[in-house]
């Protein structure tokens, strides 16, 4: 067998993704060639993650501890760098603090030249990708052999990594087999994963035995003892650090933590969060230079080991001083945010990423390390669904980071585009449209109108536009009250209930708002309607942070007054409830106010389920109220992203099962609509690609039960499912209202 020299294989020249056209092309390519393998692999990781973290009794405590360690470490970073330098040098190692990627690559190249190295073996390192190390060394005549199997595949294919933990996750076994046969002369079939692995192992074994220098990254570095944590699945890191005489470790300065005793917290979280394993296959805790015999002498007379630690700044100190981007430095590179992200599952890191960093967290890292806002434009692919937030082991608010990037991009370009103004000011448009809803709906249905909307506001003409209601919720409620006097409270000590009239429910989903009021009153719980006020959701989704803050501040004052008056707030639209529970903590200047809103805002089914759990008699009373002899239907329920994020995603399921109903649930993270995301021409194909995954699950259930009732809690979820299946999709309270 002869092989093409790895030294001849250079990293792919990555297209500049700062321009919309480049992003669009990357998305189109990803949807055509990567979707199936990518979705299967990321969803498998994600499913395994849920199983793994479910076995950690102290999972939430571990996350709190990890966050605390990272926050403290970044705060004390200059001090930790000095302490780490002293620790490593006391053992005979060398430390170099590189301010830029050029300084880092120059130092590594000079070390390699000082040993007259012809070959280096390199373990997987996202930081080395950041600085473009392979290209620099190869230009200096030094062969670089990537020893991680996935990185080896990408080196052969001249591709950049598409994922932090599994760089070649987008490639199927068949495509890898074809790649190897095209680049290497072999008669082996290479049909199975085992055969492919064995083939690569045979090539890399020769590299391990011949290399003068080994290069690794570092998951963490402890300042107290200069100890390096390296986790891996294949054992290649052990060969890289132990066979050659020289070990060079490249680590971003954010990887430094005070003590090696804190490694345990991250060891438990890393494998569970990244791949769903209870523990990585190999966990290496090293204090280099290692006290081991040198096996790869290659003619050297000096048998001593040498260790170089390259600490990389490259924008990190600036990120540390940035009040918004600073949070990205807490990232531990586990990839949980990518595996749970429906957009990433659809298009992968080559579209949803820069030249190095990918996925939702990749935007902040690309902007921070490149110093260019334009390079982080792929942050627009973040839908703000928030599913990554509870899955991050250090609780990084990734959607918030991407909103900041969107906001800064908008300002750098002279202000919001017409598209952002259109989608970010839904309430203003809805107010005007509701003055003559029949006329508005007719205009929206015309082909010329849709063409103009697509051209100037970016609304894809293929997407059906939901009609504005004939009568707003506020007016419908007034008519209802003229016929139905408010119920008297049966318990004078109970908190009052107020349904928040969000703009989506008020102008388009009146039936959901009225069903909520009727259901609660039929069950004996008086409900009143709030004023109609903008909550900031639309503005936030477009990165219009100042507008979102103004709306949040006005609404918070009003809701706080209701709550102080003894009310709990029901919120029928999950994205709005997510604003109150999550986003207002960052949008409001008062932590006390946001805390009050979190404690007193509820999804209707969440409130009913809690009431049933507090009072079992409630369910029995409800069962008596359900129509006698009514058919007990089977339900398919899809929970909205934000509901799952705030811990209320299973409230409806638990409530219906208490009533003895059969409920099937979706296992997709997001329907793909994500509010305005699914309307935009730029992202329509991605949205539909994601939506078909959910539709296939529902269709499978329909085949076994044609009378299946389809329920979804979010407006955009119902729109997406209806668009795919052309079937009625109800909010859970509509279903209950019909049964009572």
Give the whole-angstrom CA distance, residue 650 versus residue 119.
Answer: 55
Band (612; pLDDT cuts 50, 70, 90): confident
Give me the mean pLDDT over the 425-433 stretch: 92
Strand 634-638 to 567-570 pairing: unpaired
Residue 389 and residue 429 in one domain: no
pTM score, whole prediction: 0.92
Q: What is the CA radius of gyration of the chain?
A: 28
Residue 4's pLDDT band, with cuts at 50, 70 and 90, is very low
Q: Is 699 within the bounds of a domain?
A: yes
Model confidence at 11, pLDDT cuts 50, 70, 90, reads very low
Q: For residue 29, is it within any domain?
A: no
The domain that holds 626 is classified in CATH as: 3.40.50
Structure confidence at residue 248 as a pLDDT band (50, 70, 90): very high
**CA-wise closest residue to 552 among 505, 592, 586, 513:** 586
Alpha-carbon span 366 to 360, nearest angstrom: 11
pLDDT in the model for residue 600:
97
Helix, coil or strand: residue 622 = helix
Quick check: helix, strand or coil at residue 731?
Answer: coil
pLDDT-wise least confident of 464-468, 491-495, 551-555, 731-735: 491-495
Q: Angle at Cα 596 formed by Cα 593 and Cα 601, nearest 5°?
A: 125
Kindly list the distances between the CA atom of residue 255 and the CA atoms of 72, 90, 336, in Å, as whole numbers in the listed order. 12, 20, 18
Closest CA to 178 of 156, 162, 160: 156
Helix axes 604-614, 732-739, angle to 10 degrees: 60
The distance from CA 159 to its chain's CA centroid, rounded to whole angstroms, is 23
Quickly state the pLDDT bin for 208 (edges 50, 70, 90).
very high
585 and 485 in one domain? yes
Answer yes or no: is 173 within a domain: no
Predicted local confidence at residue 14, as pLDDT: 35
pLDDT at 170 (0 to 100): 85
Residue 15: per-residue pLDDT: 35
> pLDDT, tens digit, for every residue of 340-372?
999 999 999 988 998 899 999 999 999 999 999
Supply the range of the domain harboring residue 406.
323-415
DSSP string across 677-710: GGGBTTTHHHHHHHHHHHHHHHHHHHHH-TTPEE
| Per-residue pLDDT band at 617 (split at 50, 70, 90) | confident
Residues 6+ apart with CB under 8 A from 177: 190, 191, 196
DSSP state letter for 51: H
Residue 310 pLDDT > 60: yes
More confident residue, 46 or 488: 46
Whole-number mean pLDDT of the chain? 91
Q: Which of 130-144, 488-502, 574-588, 644-658 has the lowest mean pLDDT?
A: 488-502
Which burial class, exposed, middle or buried, applies to 630 when counting CB atoms under 10 A from its CB (0-12, 13-18, 19+)? exposed
Domain end call among 267, 291, 314: 314
Question: Count of domains in the chain?
Answer: 4
Count how many Cα atoms sit within 13 Å of the Cα of residue 473 in the half-sphere of its side chain: 28
Best CA proximity match to 466, nearest among 439, 446, 445: 445
Let me know whether 309 and 355 are in one domain.
Answer: no
What one-character-per-residue DSSP string does 394-437 give? T---HHHHHHHHHHHHHHHTTS--HHHHHHHTHHHHHHHHTTSH
d(CA 571, CA 580): 10
Strand arrangement, sheet containing 256-257: 256-257, 220-222, 228-232, 282-286
Rank 319-333, 474-488, 624-638 by mean pLDDT and report only the highest: 319-333
**What is the pairing mode between strands 282-286 and 228-232?**
antiparallel
| Least confident interval from 312-321, 543-552, 620-629 | 620-629
| Shared domain check, 226 and 104 | yes
Residue 2 confidence (pLDDT) above 50: no
Residue, of 408 and 170, whose pLDDT is higher: 408
Same structural domain for residues 138 and 271?
yes
Q: Are residues 596 and 632 in the same domain?
A: no
Alpha-carbon 381 to chain mean position? 10
Percentage of the chain modeled with pLDDT above 90: 79
Any residues with CB less than 8 A from the CB of 299 and at least 6 apart, and which? none
Distance CA 200, CA 150 (A): 10
Is 251 within a domain?
A: yes
In this structure, is residue 424 part of a structural domain?
yes
From edge to edge, which strands make up the β-sheet containing 567-570? Answer: 527-532, 496-501, 567-570, 601-602
Q: What are phi and psi of 335, to 5 degrees?
A: 80, 5
Structure letter (DSSP) for residue 487: P
C-alpha 267/C-alpha 269 separation (Å) is 5
Residue where a domain stops, chosen among 314, 347, 367:
314
11-20, 152-161, 399-408, 699-708: the lowest-pLDDT one: 11-20
Structure confidence by residue, pLDDT tens digits, 370-418: 999 999 999 999 999 999 999 999 999 999 999 999 999 999 999 999 9
Contact 581, 598 (CB under 8 A): yes
Helix H segments across 223-286? 236-242, 263-274
Q: What is the pLDDT of residue 16?
A: 37
pLDDT at residue 130 tops 50: yes
Same domain? For 330 and 216 the reply is: no
137 or 36, which is more confident = 137
Report the pLDDT value the prediction gives residue 623, as an integer from 0 to 100: 78
Pair (683, 572) in one structural domain: no
The answer to the question of residue 381 being in a domain is yes
Task: Quickly count: other Cβ atoms within 10 Å of residue 185's Cβ.
Answer: 9
Closest by alpha carbon to 669, among 29, 170, 50, 32? Answer: 50
Peptide bond preceding 628 in cis form (omega within 30 of 0): no
Q: Distances in Å between the alpha carbon of 421 and those of 204, 544, 685?
A: 54, 9, 22
Beta-carbon-side half-sphere exposure of residue 229 (alpha carbons within 13 Å): 22
Q: Can you give the pLDDT at residue 27?
A: 63
Q: pLDDT value at position 487?
A: 83
Whether residue 672 sits in one domain with residue 635 = yes
| Phi, psi (rounded to 5 degrees) for 611 | -65, -40
- The pLDDT assigned to 634 comes to 92
pLDDT at 13 over 50: no
Q: Is residue 457 part of a domain?
A: no
- Furthest CA-CA distance within the chain: 98
Q: What pLDDT was estimated at residue 293?
A: 84
Q: Are residues 582 and 656 in the same domain?
A: no
Task: Output the 3-class SS for 154-187.
Answer: HHHHCCCCCCCCCCCCCCCHHHHHHHHHHHECCC
Specify the pLDDT at position 278: 86
How far, in Å, are 246, 543, 554, 583, 715 from residue 468 at the CA level? 69, 25, 25, 27, 13
Q: Is residue 172 part of a domain?
A: no
Whole-number Å distance between alpha carbons of 384 and 388: 9
Kindly tell me if the per-residue pLDDT of 241 is higher than 80: yes
The mean per-residue pLDDT over the stretch 460-487 comes to 94
The residue from 292, 314, 336 where one domain ends is 314
Looking at the fold, whether 246 and 381 belong to one and the same domain comes out as no
What is the per-residue pLDDT for 627? Answer: 65
Supply the pLDDT for residue 518. 96
pLDDT for 187: 86
Instruction: Please indicate, yes or no, whether residues 495 and 593 belong to a single structural domain of this protein.
Output: yes
Distance CA 381, CA 369 (A): 19
CA 703 to chain CA centroid, Å, is 32
């Amino acid at each position: 067998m002869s092989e093409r020299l790895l030294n001849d294989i250079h990293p792919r020249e990555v297209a500049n993704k700062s321009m919309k056209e480049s992003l669009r092309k990357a998305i189109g390519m990803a949807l055509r060639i990567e979707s199936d393998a990518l979705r299967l692999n990321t969803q498998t990781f994600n499913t395994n993650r849920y199983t793994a973290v479910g076995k950690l009794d102290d999972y939430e405590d571990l996350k709190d501890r990890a966050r605390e360690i990272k926050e403290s470490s970044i705060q004390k970073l200059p001090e930790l760098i000095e302490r780490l330098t002293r620790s490593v040098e006391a053992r005979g190692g060398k430390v170099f603090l590189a301010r830029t990627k050029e300084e880092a690559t120059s130092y590594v190249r000079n070390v390699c030249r000082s040993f007259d190295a012809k070959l280096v073996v390199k373990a997987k390192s996202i930081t080395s990708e950041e600085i473009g190390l392979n290209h620099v060394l190869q230009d200096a005549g030094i062969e670089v052999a990537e020893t991680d199997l996935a990185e080896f595949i990408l080196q052969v294919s001249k591709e950049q990594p598409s994922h932090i933990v599994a760089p070649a996750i987008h490639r199927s076994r068949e495509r890898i087999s074809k790649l190897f046969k095209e680049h290497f002369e072999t008669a082996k079939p290479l049909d199975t994963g085992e055969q492919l692995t064995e083939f690569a192992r045979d090539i890399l074994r020769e590299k391990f035995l011949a290399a003068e220098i080994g290069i690794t990254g570092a998951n963490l570095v402890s300042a107290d003892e200069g100890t390096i944590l390296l986790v891996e699945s294949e054992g290649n890191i052990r060969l890289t650090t132990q066979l050659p005489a020289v070990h060079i470790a490249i680590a971003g300065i954010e990887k430094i933590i005070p003590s090696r005793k804190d490694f345990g917290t991250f060891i438990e979280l890393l494998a569970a969060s990244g791949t769903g394993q209870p523990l990585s296959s190999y966990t290496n805790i090293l204090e280099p230079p290692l006290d081991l015999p040198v096996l790869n002498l290659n003619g050297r007379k000096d048998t001593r080991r040498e260790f170089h630690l390259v600490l990389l700044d490259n924008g990190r100190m600036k990120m540390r001083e940035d009040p918004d981007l600073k949070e990205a430095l807490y990232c531990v590179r586990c990839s949980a945010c990518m595996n749970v992200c429906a957009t990433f599952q659809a298009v992968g890191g080559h579209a949803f990423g820069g030249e190095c960093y990918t996925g939702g967290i990749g935007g902040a890292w690309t902007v921070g390390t490149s110093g260019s806002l334009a390079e982080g434009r792929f942050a627009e692919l973040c839908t703000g669904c928030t599913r990554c937030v509870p899955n991050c082991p250090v609780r990084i608010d990734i959607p918030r980071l991407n909103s900041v990037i969107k906001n800064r991009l908008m300002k750098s370009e002279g202000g919001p585009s017409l598209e952002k103004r259109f989608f970010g000011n839904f309430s203003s448009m809805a107010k005007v449209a509701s003055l003559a809803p029949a006329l508005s709906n007719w205009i929206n249905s015309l082909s010329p109108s849709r063409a103009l909307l697509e051209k100037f506001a970016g609304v894809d003409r293929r997407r059906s536009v939901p009609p504005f209601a004939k009568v707003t919720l506020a007016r419908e409620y007034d008519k209802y009250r003229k016929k139905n006097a408010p119920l008297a409270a049966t318990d004078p000590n109970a908190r009052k209930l107020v349904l928040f009239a969000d703009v989506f429910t008020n102008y388009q989903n009146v039936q959901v708002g009225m069903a909520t009021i009727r259901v609660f009153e039929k069950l004996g719980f008086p409900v009143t309607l709030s004023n109609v006020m903008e909550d900031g959701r639309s503005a936030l989704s477009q990165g219009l942070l100042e507008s979102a803050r103004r709306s949040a501040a006005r609404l918070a004052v009003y809701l706080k007054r209701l709550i102080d008056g003894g009310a709990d707030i029901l919120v029928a639209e999950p994205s709005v409830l997510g604003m109150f529970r999550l986003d207002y903590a960052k949008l409001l200047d008062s932590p006390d106010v946001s805390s009050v809103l979190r404690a007193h805002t509820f999804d209707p089914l969440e409130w009913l389920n809690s009431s049933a759990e507090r009072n079992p008699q409630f369910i029995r009373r409800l069962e008596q109220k359900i129509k006698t002899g009514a058919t007990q239907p089977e339900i398919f329920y899809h929970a909205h992203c934000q509901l799952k994020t705030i811990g209320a995603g299973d409230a409806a399921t638990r409530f219906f099962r208490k009533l003895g109903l059969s409920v099937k649930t979706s296992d997709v993270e997001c329907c793909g609509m994500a509010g305005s995301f699914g309307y935009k021409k730029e992202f329509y194909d991605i949205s539909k690609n994601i939506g078909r995954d959910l539709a296939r699950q529902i269709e499978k259930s329909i085949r076994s039960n044609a009378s299946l009732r389809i329920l979804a809690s979010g407006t955009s979820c119902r729109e997406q499912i209806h668009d795919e299946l052309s079937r009625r999709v109800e909010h859970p309270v509509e279903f209950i209202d019909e049964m009572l």
